[in-house]
Each structure stands twice: as C-alpha cells, then as structure tokens.
Amino acid sequence: MSTKPHPRIHHLNLYRRYFELVAAGQKTIEVRVKYPHLADLAAGDRIEFRIKGTDEVCHVEVLRVTEYDGFEALMDGEGPEQVNPTSSREQQLTNIRAIYGAEREALGALAIEIRLT
C-alpha cells in the first residue's frame, strides 16, 4: 500500500488587485523573484495567497514553475494575458518592477502556473 505524500503548502502575500484576479480564476501565472525560499517550489505544491493584514485567503495548486532570466523574458515566454488579463505587457512590466527593483530582478524570475483548488 503506497501513501501519497501531502503537498507542501507555501504562504505568500498578494496585493488585492492580483488576489482578486487569482480568486476569480483569471490570473493563471503568478510572477515572483527567484528567492531562495521559493527554490523548492514545484508542481503539485499548494499556495495559500493572503492579502497582507487581512484574513482573506485563496488556495491554488502549482501546475508548473518555469525560471526566466528576467521579467521581459517571462512576459515573452508566458504571455501577458496569463499574468494579468487587465493590463498591457508594458504596464505589467512597470508594475512588477515597481514591486521588485532591478537588483531583485537580477536574481531571476519565476512563472508559477496556478489553478484554483
């Protein structure tokens, strides 16, 4: 009898505008900097997104994690409509870079494909 291990659960914060897109199933790619604490993030894991300072949460399953050299390469590889269907590619790059400065982008970018659970 084999037992399937429980998926790992990661706890990450989201700004309300992105949280609402995830909760509605419209945002299927989450963008993150390749921080060391996300190095083991893998398909099958779960993420609990929270709006910081609130009790509002949204649960997703990780379908895929793809590494990119930076945010432009990620947008080209994934398509901006998957990251945020309400903003243009240029606006998304501006918004992402306002959150993560150039020194953080230099660490690399992760495209995390997600699905509501």
CATH code at position 98: 2.30.130.30
Domain assignment present for 3: no
Domain that holds residue 23: 9-116
Domain assignment present for 1: no
What is the rounded (10 degree) CA torsion for 43, 27, 104, 94? Answer: 160
Domain assignment present for 58: yes
pTM here is 0.93
Contact, 13 vs 52, CB < 8 A?
Answer: yes
Distance in angstroms (rounded) separating the CA atoms of residues 34 and 9 = 17
Distance in angstroms (rounded) separating the CA atoms of residues 27 and 19 = 9
Among all chains, which residue has been given the structure tokens 């649960």?
59
Q: At 113, list the tokens.
A: 């494909």
Domain assignment present for 111: yes
- Report how many domains make up the chain: 1
Domain assignment present for 16: yes
Per-residue pLDDT of the chain (117 residues; tens, 9 = 90+): 556 677 899 999 999 999 999 999 999 999 999 999 999 999 999 999 999 999 999 999 999 999 999 999 999 999 999 999 999 999 999 999 999 999 999 999 999 999 999
Q: For 57-91, what is each residue's pLDDT tens digit? A: 999 999 999 999 999 999 999 999 999 999 999 99
Strand 57-68 with 46-51, pairing: antiparallel
Domain assignment present for 44: yes
Report the sign of the C-alpha dihedral through residues 111, 101, 38, 51, in that order. Answer: negative
Domain assignment present for 83: yes
